[in-house]
Amino acid sequence: MKKAIVLCAGKGTRLRPLTFTTAKHLIPIANKPILFYSLENIARAGIEEVGIVVSPHNAEEFKNIVGTGENFGLKISYIIQEEPKGLAHAVWVSREFLGDEDFMMYLGDNLILEDLGKFVKDFENSDCAASILLSPVKDPTRFGVAVMEGDRVIKVVEKPKIPPSNLAIVGLYLFKSKIFEGIKNIKPSWRGELEITDAIEYLIEKGEKVRGYIVYGWWKDTGKPEDLLEANRKILMETTEELLGEMDDKSSIQGPVKIGKSSKIVNSVIRGPVVIGENCFIKNSYVGPYSSIGNSVILEDCEVENSIVMDECSITGVEKRIDSSILGKGVSVKGSQKRPASLNLILGDMSRVEL
C-alpha cells in the first residue's frame, strides 16, 4: 500500500473562534500542528503518497504550512472537495488520485498514536475489502459504531441513537477500490452527507469481508477544546529537556522543559512538562505543567498552567492563574490595576470566557 488520503476539509465548528482563522487540523499541539503527527505516523507505516482533501477556503493555508511533503518523506498532493458532503464524498472526489490501488483513509483531526505498519501489512495479506480500527468508548452515539463477530465486522452504523455496541470507529480506514462501488450505491443520510459507514455497510451486505481491529491504545478526536488540551497533555508527557534559550540565576526549571532559540526566562519558574517556542520573553511568571507556549510570546507577571498559548500572544499583569485555556494567535490578555475595577473585553464571534 503506497497511497493515503487525509481528510481536512471540515470547518471545525466546535472549535470556533479558533477555526475562523486556522484550520482545525493545523492547530498546534505541543507547538506542532495536529496534522503533522498524523503525516509522520502515515510515513512510518510505509505510505509514500498522500492526497490531502481540503476545501476551496483553506487550500492555500495547507499548501503554505504543509508544503510538498518532503519534510515528512512523503509526496503530497492537494484534492479539493468543493462542498462538505461527507466522508464518502471526500473519497469519491479522490478517485483520480487513488486509481485502482488499495489505500488508507485518515481523518485529519484525529490523533492516533498506534503503530499503523502492522495494520497495513495485515490488510495487504488479506482478502478483505476494508479494514477499520475500533476502540471501546463511553459515548458511542458520537461516532460510527461497529458490531463484530470474531474479527469480522458484520454491521456498521453512523452516530446511532441506540448504539448496537460500544466500539467506535477510530478515524483510520483501509480500503480496496471496491469501496467506490459502495459509494456509488448509497444515498445521502439525514445529515445530507454521503456516509462512509453506509458504503462499508453496502460492502458487508454484498458479502465482502470487512475486518475490525480493536485498539486499546491512546487516540483522540480533537474536535473540541477539551480534546485539544488532553492531546496537548499526552504529547507533552513525552517531552525531553532541551534548553536553547537564556535563563537568569533567579529562574528555575523543574521537570522536562523545552525552550526554543532566543527565548529569555527572567525571575520565573517553569515546571514541566512544558514546551516554549522561539523568541519568547517570560518574566516574573510561572509556567506550569502541560503548557505549550508558541513562538514570540510575552508572559509577564502571570501564571499559566495546562494551556495552549499560540504564537505572538501576550499575557501581562494577570493576578489569577490562567488554567485549562487555549489562546489563539496574537491574543492579548492584560491585567488592570485601575479603580473602579472593571473588565474590558474585545471578543470575536463564539468566544468563551470564564471569570
Position 325 scores a pLDDT of 86
Query: Three-class SS of residue 310?
Result: coil
Position 318 scores a pLDDT of 86
Determine the Cα–Cα distance for residues 314 and 318; give it in Å rounded to an integer: 11
Give me 234's grid cell: 499526552
Dihedral-angle region of residue 36 (phi above 0 means left; psi in -120 to 50 means alpha; beta otherwise)? alpha
- 103 C-beta neighbours (distance < 10 Å), count: 26
Position 211 scores a pLDDT of 92
Position 208 scores a pLDDT of 92
Position 261 scores a pLDDT of 95
Contact 197, 183 (CB under 8 A): no
Give me 82's grid cell: 468543493
> Which H or E run contains 184?
helix 179-184
Contact 120, 46 (CB under 8 A): yes
Determine the Cα–Cα distance for residues 328 and 18; give it in Å rounded to an integer: 6
Q: Give pTM, 2 decimals.
A: 0.87
* Tens place of pLDDT per residue across the chain (355 aa): 899 999 987 665 555 655 556 677 888 899 999 899 999 999 999 999 999 999 888 888 889 989 898 899 999 999 999 888 889 999 999 999 999 999 999 988 888 887 888 899 999 998 999 999 998 888 888 888 888 888 888 988 888 888 888 898 888 999 999 999 999 998 888 777 888 989 999 999 999 999 998 887 666 766 677 888 988 999 999 888 999 999 999 999 999 999 999 999 999 999 989 999 999 999 999 999 999 999 999 999 999 999 999 898 989 888 888 888 888 888 888 877 766 655 555 555 556 666 6
Determine the Cα–Cα distance for residues 6 and 109; give it in Å rounded to an integer: 9
Query: Three-class SS of residue 122?
Result: helix
- Per DSSP bridges, beta strands 314-316 and 332-334 are parallel
